[in-house]
Structure 1
Amino acid sequence: MPVRGTHKLDEFEVVEVIGSGQYGVCKKVKRKSDEKVFVWKELDYGQMTETEKKLLCQEVNLLRELKHQYIVRYYDRVIDRSNTTLYIVMEYCEGGDLASYISRCKTERRYIEENFIWKILFQLLLALQECHRRREGVDKVLHRDLKPANIFLDANRNAKLGDFGLARILAHNYSLAKTFVGTPYYMSPEVLSQQGYNESSDLWSLGCVIYELCSLSPPFNAPNQEILAVKVKEGKFRPIPSHYSTELQAVIVRLLKVEPSQRASIDTLFSTRSLRLLLWEKELHQQESELKELRIKLKTREAALDQKEKDLTAREQGLHQKDRRELLELVKVKQPREGATSQENQPPIQPTSSKPFHPKPILKVKSSRT
């Protein structure tokens, strides 16, 4: 079994039960420290065979590696060995799963808007692209059980691909898996024929999901699996309702090609006008986000520079005031010494004569007339 994660069981509070399966239940939980909401898959591995335990370990390891905007995020796992239970803590999707959404629309007798269907198709293609085109040194992944119940919606009605319990890792680009797994309504012809299959099998399942979003029912229906297999292998299905665009109908037809080699790939689908526009919109939004982050960084840097400039100015003023005070103190100290020195350097005053002063008589000058 996988190693215990960073959380403890008593750090969570169960809010409600969301669903249940053969080996356990899925519950909405809340982390006590910050009241953040999660979902955990509560799995009793004590009842599993060794093969099933191995697959469970594979799913946990796979979830830990898959980090993508449109894939349900894995957070942690907690093991309770006392009751042989594994808790896989994952992202909570407020919008529920796509199967429930389709069921509500069917009950309300209303079709799903086409723009929403294009958005779901676009986001699931990006999620599958992340699985099928793994990074260098990491194997590619087939989901193998793509269906509305395994596609979730967040608060903004964005698609999140989840439940990789049947996923298989392919170590080579041309590897063909041969295990018979999946949900019959969404199984590809090659899987039903128990032939080897690759990532194009997931694209067939995606075509079935998109068809169901349009028609509110799967493209292939039958009372039993044998008849269903015959219909799937024939590849004949009714067209989607006429109020949807011919472009959307054409995409579904390209995805539901019986021959895998003729089936549309992710790259060719992105050349479709509507998907290409969504891709451009996403790239533009990403560029805007990057520019916004850059502006924030620039403003932060400008604020830091402004503060640094203020600090330097204040420091400069402080130094100037300090220098001025020191200069004034120096002037005060030097002034008395300079006064004393000037007096000392003056020549001595000569003493006057001690003889009495007798003024000379004023002689009167006779006029020449006398």
Structure 2
Amino acid sequence: MDSYEKVRVVGRGAFGVCWLCRDKISSAKVIVKMINTHGMSEKEEKYIQSEVNLLKKVQHPLIIGYIDYFTIDNQLAIVMQYAEGGTLEKLINEQRQIKENIPEKTVLEYFTQILIALDHMHSKHIVHRDLKPANILMNRRKTILKLSDFGISKELGTKSAASTVIGTPNYLSPEICESRPYNQKSDMWSLGCVLFELLQLERAFDGENLPAIVMKITQGRLKQMGEHVTPEAKKLVDALLKTNEKSRPDVTDLLVDPVVLPYLISIHCDLGRLEPPTTDKRKPSASLSSRLRTYPTQSTLRAHSSSMSLLSSQHLTPTPSSIETGMKPLIKNLSQSRISSQARYHQHRFTE
């Protein structure tokens, strides 16, 4: 810990303590997860090492950043990026207390960011297994989300399926509740639960005890959504919360959905800027909707127009299947060509 100064404890888990620390050289705030390895079984040590390996493998602008790890006094220290804005769960609770719904455009912008992060994980055959608002972190301005907590994530083979019952009860998929094999589609169910909660400020499946929650999940007894939610958003929730996992869309299906696509293009345009903006010294507004740009900018519209022109130049017939065929390579190229600049720019913006 010679390089870091401890500030305060920010969390405790099954294996150790999370400290907010300050880098003694750069003064940057980081999270250091201290895990006591003394007396651990070989299986437990492998479990901890798997989290380190996953953090290394899933480096992405929308996934909490891995910085370093080292051992000290029978403890393993994992150094990770710090999220000043807290968790998505905290935001939902705050909005529930003041009885103010999160604007749907903001919800869909958040939803698309989570989709992009999941797409990166699923492309590496990794299932998060505990996707929930408490494991989604935010920057100070609450404009950027990052997935976190890979302690129970599992790496799958291309055609394999996991079978361990693990995760937070309210967000468990029916297949996990029924102890059936599961894959990336289980994360899609959890994502549907997160989307429902962002829109409604309450959990999709809740009950007095675990059996009651499990029964509602396996029967797909979803709470009715309010009139403030648009039919398009309700359709997304319904698609994700299909009890038959084979009927659920995967990430790539949703990334070309007409509701999601404009937000996807907007996010890629924002992350593609090479130069970070000048630090804004103004205090953020108390209103959530005024803090976030949740509408298409002129640059977004131009990018959308250019994308459509590209499709037109390729002589694509405007049917759902051909649009999907045309947009997937475009999305892939956007992601691959900008990943290095995204990481630099995003690291700057996440500290705002």
Please tell me the TM-score bracket, short chain as reference. Answer: 0.7 to 0.9
- For the structure 1 residues 212 and 287, does the alpha-carbon distance in structure 2 shift closer, same or farther, using more than 3 Å as the test? closer
Equivalent residues of 2:62, 2:146 under 8 A apart: yes
Q: 1:131 aligns with which of 107, 110, 121?
A: 121
CA contact 2:119–2:252 (8 Å) conserved in 1: no
Give the greater-gyration-radius structure (CA). Answer: 1
Asked whether 1:159 is paired with 2:149, we answer no
- Cα offset for 1:68? 0.7
Are the aligned partners of 2:34 and 2:75 in contact in 1 as well (CA < 8 Å)? Answer: yes
Between the two proteins, what is the percent identity of the paired residues?
33
1:43 matched residue in structure 2? 35
**TM-score w.r.t. length of structure 1:** 0.71
1:100 aligned partner, one-letter code:
K
Q: Partner of 1:273: helix, strand, or coil?
A: coil
Corresponding position of 2:59 = 67
Amino acid across the alignment from 1:177: A
2:53 matched to 1:79?
no
What does residue 107 of structure 1 align with?
97
Please say if 1:221 is aligned against 2:206.
yes
Corresponding position of 2:310: none
* TM value normalised by structure 2: 0.75
Q: 2:207 corresponds to which letter in structure 1?
A: A
Report if the CA contact (8 A) 1:43-1:85 is conserved: yes
The structure, 1 or 2, with the larger RCO (C-alpha pairs under 8 Å, 6+ apart) is 2
The Cα shift of 1:169 comes to: 0.6
Residues 141 and 169 in structure 1, CA contact (< 8 A), matched pair in contact too: yes
Q: Identify the match of residue 163 of structure 2 among 146, 166, 178.
A: 178
Alignment-derived partner of residue 24 in structure 2: 32
Residues 168-317 of structure 1 mapped to structure 2, 5 A cutoff: 168-172=154-158, 174-285=159-270, 289=274
Q: Cα distance 1:287–1:107, how it changes in 2: closer, same or farther (>3 A)?
A: closer
Q: Do the aligned partners of residues 286 and 209 (structure 1) sit closer, same or farther apart at CA in structure 2, a change above 3 Å counting? A: closer
SS of 1:10's partner is coil
Structure 1 position 204, deviation (Å): 0.4
Task: Structure 2 unaligned segments of length 5 or more: list them.
Answer: 278-352
Query: How far 1:25 moved relative to its partner?
Result: 1.6
1:142 partnered with 2:161: no
- Count residues with an aligned counterpart: 275
Query: Could you tell me how far apart the structure 2 residues matched to 1:57 and 1:76 are?
Result: 13
Q: Name the Cα RMSD after superposition.
A: 1.7
The AA in structure 2 aligned to 1:184 is P
CA contact (8 A) 2:110 2:145 kept: yes
Report SS of the residue matched to 2:186: helix
Which AA in structure 1 matches 2:57? E
Alpha carbons of 1:49 and 1:100: their partners in 2 closer, same or farther (altered >3 Å)? farther
- On the 8 A contact 1:239/1:249 being kept in 2, the answer is no
Give the Å deviation of 1:286.
5.5
Give 1:98 shift.
1.0
Question: Which 10-residue stretch deviates more, 186-195 or 238-247?
Answer: 238-247
Question: How far has the Cα of 1:240 moved from its partner?
Answer: 2.2
How far is the alpha carbon of 1:114 from its aligned partner? 1.2
Question: What is the CA–CA distance in structure 2 between the aligned matches of 1:78 and 1:270, rounded to whole Å?
Answer: 38
